[in-house]
């Protein structure tokens, strides 16, 4: 078979130009694709990521600083500053910038004059945990900060801020300052390290006083120097608060209260000065007190404003409600008589004794000598429902609404929760719990012709430029008629002239009020204790047209003199004598000489078990001859107002014996009327089961004070 001829393939010759062109197109395509990808990425970055990139770039050359505006100031009614904030500096460390932690701790401790162990442990712990902020010293004034800068200065270190020490920086803060130290400290309160109110007005008005947080951006150059600063937020500025307190009156009240508490060896004391017509509180004092500039180590109970937060049994000062309700309901008149010859009364098996009651007497005299028997009979005539309603109308059992934190409501049970002898006990100030402010407000109601004005301590709130933001307007409620109020004032005037409140008599001014002494509840004994007292005097002056109401309450006075007339009334006298001229109150009485018989040092005549209530020694009568707008009592040969011969006036607290002229017989001294505020506990005896109306309150838990 013949072989096929071999076919020879002819190789096509390549065109070098075509090849070069193809390669060029390929390279161009790659460049187009690459540029396209870059273009897409650039568009994405410029359009979609522009904000993020701008923020990131700014963060590399700017810092955000947060600071607070200065906290608002607190002023008294005369524009005296009671609390203000000042700028200070605080030292902190950034552990990430510190290389030698022990050396840094040693240097800082030496500058601050403290032991380095605590600083070393804090810095080392922060560095190990990669924290970048540790406080070293808080709230130093400018002088202290400059001294630290000099002490810690490293001249070889290039650093844009002070102190020139690796890892240390200053932070601007504010510090609260109280120029008058302990004056009205429980009212004003204080703020903590974080500038947050912890007590008093500082706490109650935190939203008003608090400075807003200000955010600022600082832009730096490459050397860290600030060349631009901008604020990012619009905020509401803090406001100043003007109180109704007068720093001068507050000081006088605190001094008198301090002396009175220490003189009576009492556990504590409270005092309130109130304008009955406006409801403005001119002074509100507690003793003991504290300095809000130095709160470290102070016991927490010292921060309590007891005038609005503590509840106690008022005792005989609560008879204001008893007689006020009876007078308003026309159940009696001051000159009407009440039979107290029996000396005791039994209500639901509870025997109430009255050692001052030995015969029939007028209601005027009954209140003057603080007869429990007369008050109980009056309360029983008023009746449960009416008594409860009047107590509520006077403001008991509810908060006054004062602009202070943690105000107590008090304790006033409705009649359906009363025991058989509850009305009798309440008539003399037991089985009720009150605050000092509630009692002062009730007496202010009588002083203001029966109109109760809501008490307030904030006069106005205003901006730092002086523009008024808000002003407190008095809220008024008619409680009793003006005629009833005048009758009550006349009865309380008798208490001061002839009764248990003689030590509240004033020089140049008429005064009126009521003493009160109540046994305290003992949680350990779970009953009232005959060895612990709340002694008080609440009154007003001048008697006919009162300009001021003063309440004084002492907790657990010790010694022979413990009742309200002995320990609280003299404090009232001291306060009123000092503040009435300051308030420009015109004297309404001519005092020329206190014709006094000897008043010996008061001692107990009977044991507490035998004579409950105020421990009454036999006291000689102290007669003050004065001329009032209503007439003349006795002979008057003196001068007007306080400009009288003080050498002729015996001081009521320590009266010298009176020696009659030759040939004149010395009349026997009359005993000072005794005040019976505490009911003698009933003897233990069997009670019917499930008959709560017949159970004696002496066997039950009373008010916890």
Helices (H), 396-517: 422-427, 436-447, 482-498
Between CA 546 and CA 539 the distance in angstroms is: 9
Contact 69, 212 (CB under 8 A): yes
For 145-196, the DSSP string reads HHHHHHHT--TT---SSSS-STTEEEEEEEEEE-TTTTTTHHHH--B-TTS-
The two structure tokens encoding residue 375: 């008050």
Predicted pLDDT at 3: 60
Mean pLDDT across 543-547: 96
- Number of other CB atoms surrounding residue 564 within 10 Å: 35
Distance CA 359, CA 382 (A): 22
How far is it, in rounded angstroms, from Cα 303 to Cα 311?
16
- How does pLDDT run across 52-97, given as a tens digit for each residue? 777 776 666 666 666 678 899 999 999 999 999 999 999 999 998 8
* Secondary structure element (H or E) that encloses residue 505, with its range: none
CA distances from 556 to 101, 316, 428 (A): 57, 16, 19
Nearest CA to 616 out of 552, 540, 697, 535 is that of 535
Q: In terms of pLDDT, which residue wins out, 676 or 419?
A: 419
Better-scored residue on pLDDT, 41 or 246 = 246
DSSP per-residue letters across 681-692: PPPP----TT-G
Q: What is the pLDDT of residue 594?
A: 39
45 in Cβ contact with 39 (< 8 Å): no
Close Cβ partners of 356 (under 8 Å, ≥ 6 residues apart)? 369, 370, 371, 616, 673, 674, 675, 676
Mean pLDDT of 212-216: 67
Q: What is the pLDDT of residue 480?
A: 97
Is the model's pLDDT at 639 over the cut of 80? no
Among candidate residues 277, 327, 310, the one with its CA nearest the CA of residue 447: 277
Residue 595 has pLDDT above 80, yes or no: no
Instruction: Tell me how far apart the alpha carbons of residues 395 and 402 are, in angstroms, rounded to a whole number.
Output: 12
How far apart are the C-alpha atoms of 353 and 611, rounded to whole Å? 9
Using CA atoms, how far apart are residues 406 and 309, in angstroms rounded to an integer?
A: 6
- Is residue 377 packed enough to be buried (19+ CB in 10 Å), middle (13-18) or exposed (0-12)? buried
- Nearest-10 Cα torsion for 695, 701, 703, 704: 180
CA 122 and chain centroid, separation: 38
Highest mean pLDDT among 63-77, 304-318, 577-591: 304-318
How much is the pLDDT for 372? 94
Answer yes or no: is pLDDT of 475 > 90. yes
Task: Check residue 214 and give its pLDDT.
Answer: 65
Q: Given a cut of 70, is residue 207 above it in pLDDT? A: yes
pLDDT of residue 78: 95
CA dist 9 and 479 (Å) reads 132
Mention every residue, 6+ apart, whose C-beta is less than 8 A from residue 244.
77, 280, 281, 282, 456, 457, 458, 459
Q: Which residues are CB-contacts of 335 (< 8 A; sequence separation ≥ 6)?
A: 362, 363, 364
Asked whether the beta carbons of 50 and 43 are under 8 A apart, the reply is: no
3-state secondary structure of 111: helix
For the residues 458-479, what does the mean pLDDT come to? 94
Give 663-693 pLDDT, tens digit per residue. Answer: 334 334 344 444 444 443 333 333 333 444 4
- If one counts every other C-beta atom within 10 angstroms of the C-beta of residue 368, the result is 26
> Rg of the Cα trace of the chain?
40
pLDDT of residue 15: 76
SS3 52: helix
- pLDDT tens digits, residue range 497-525? 999 999 999 999 999 999 999 998 888 88
Domains in the chain, please, with CATH? 64-100+126-243 (3.90.1310.10), 247-692 (3.40.710.10)
What is the residue whose two structure tokens read 């000042």? 86
Contacts of 306 (CB under 8 A, 6+ apart): 186, 268, 270, 286, 436
């Amino acid at each position: 078979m013949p072989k096929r001829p071999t076919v020879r393939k002819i190789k096509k010759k390549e065109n070098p130009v075509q090849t070069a062109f193809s390669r060029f197109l390929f390279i161009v395509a790659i460049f187009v694709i690459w540029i396209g990808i870059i273009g897409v990425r650039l568009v994405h970055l410029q359009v979609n990521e522009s904000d993020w990139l701008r923020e990131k770039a700014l963060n590399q050359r700017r810092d955000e600083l947060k600071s607070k505006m200065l906290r608002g100031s607190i002023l008294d009614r005369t524009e005296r500053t009671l609390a203000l904030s000042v700028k200070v500096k605080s030292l902190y460390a950034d552990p990430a910038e510190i290389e030698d932690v022990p050396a840094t701790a040693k240097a800082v401790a030496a500058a601050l004059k403290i032991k380095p162990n605590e600083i070393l442990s804090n810095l080392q712990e922060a560095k190990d945990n990669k924290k970048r902020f540790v406080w070293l010293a808080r709230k130093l004034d400018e002088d202290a900060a400059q001294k630290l800068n000099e002490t810690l200065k490293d001249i070889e270190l290039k650093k844009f801020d002070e102190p020139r020490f690796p890892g240390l920086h200053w932070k601007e803060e504010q510090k609260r300052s109280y120029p008058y130290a302990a004056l009205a400290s429980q009212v004003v309160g204080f703020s903590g390290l974080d500038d947050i109110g912890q007590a008093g007005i500082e706490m109650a008005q935190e939203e008003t006083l608090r400075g807003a947080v200000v955010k600022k951006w600082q832009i730096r150059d490459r050397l860290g120097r600030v060349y631009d600063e901008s604020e990012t937020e619009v905020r509401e500025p803090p406001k100043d608060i003007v109180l109704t307190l007068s720093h001068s009156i507050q000081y006088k009240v605190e001094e008198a209260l301090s002396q009175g508490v220490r003189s009576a060896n009492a556990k504590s004391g409270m005092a309130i000065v109130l304008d009955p017509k406006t409801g403005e509180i001119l002074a509100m004092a507690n003793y003991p007190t504290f300095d809000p500039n130095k709160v470290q180590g102070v016991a927490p109970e010292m921060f309590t404003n007891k005038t609005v937060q503590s509840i106690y049994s008022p005792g005989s000062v609560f008879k204001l409600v008893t007689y006020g309700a009876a007078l308003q309901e026309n159940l009696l008149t001051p000159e009407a008589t009440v039979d107290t010859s029996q000396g005791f009364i039994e209500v639901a098996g509870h025997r109430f004794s009255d050692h001052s009651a030995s015969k029939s007497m007028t209601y005027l005299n009954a209140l003057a000598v603080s007869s429990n028997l007369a008050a109980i009979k009056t309360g029983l005539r008023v009746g449960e429902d009416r008594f409860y309603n009047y107590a509520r109308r006077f403001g008991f059992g509810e908060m006054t609404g004062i602009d202070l934190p943690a105000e107590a409501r008090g304790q006033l049970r409705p009649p359906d929760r009363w025991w058989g002898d509850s009305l009798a006990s309440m008539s003399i100030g037991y089985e009720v719990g009150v605050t000092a402010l509630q009692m002062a407000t009730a007496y202010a109601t009588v002083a203001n012709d029966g109109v109760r004005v809501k008490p307030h301590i904030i006069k106005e709130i205003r901006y730092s430029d002086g523009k008024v933001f808000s002003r407190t307007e008095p809220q008024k409620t008619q409680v009793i008629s003006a005629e009833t109020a005048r009758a009550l004032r006349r009865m309380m005037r008798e208490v001061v002239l002839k009764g248990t409140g003689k030590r509240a008599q004033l020089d140049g001014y008429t005064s009126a009020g009521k003493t009160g002494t109540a046994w305290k509840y003992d949680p350990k004994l779970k009953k009232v204790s005959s060895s612990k007292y709340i002694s008080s005097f609440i009154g007003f002056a001048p008697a006919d047209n009162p300009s001021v109401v003063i309440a004084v309450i002492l907790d657990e006075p010790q010694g022979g003199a413990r009742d309200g007339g002995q320990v609280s009334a003299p404090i009232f006298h001291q306060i009123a004598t000092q503040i009435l001229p300051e308030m420009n109150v015109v004297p309404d009485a001519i005092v020329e000489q206190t014709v006094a018989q000897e008043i010996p040092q008061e001692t107990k005549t009977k044991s507490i078990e035998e004579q409950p209530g105020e421990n009454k020694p036999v006291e000689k009568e102290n007669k003050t001859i004065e001329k009032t707008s209503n007439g003349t009592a006795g002979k008057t040969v003196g001068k007007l107002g306080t400009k009288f011969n003080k050498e002729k006036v015996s001081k009521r607290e320590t009266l010298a014996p009176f020696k009659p002229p030759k040939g004149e017989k010395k009349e026997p001294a009359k005993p000072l009327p005794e005040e019976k505020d505490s009911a003698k506990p009933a003897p233990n005896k069997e009670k019917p089961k499930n008959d709560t109306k017949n159970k004696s309150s002496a066997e039950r838990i009373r008010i916890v004070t």
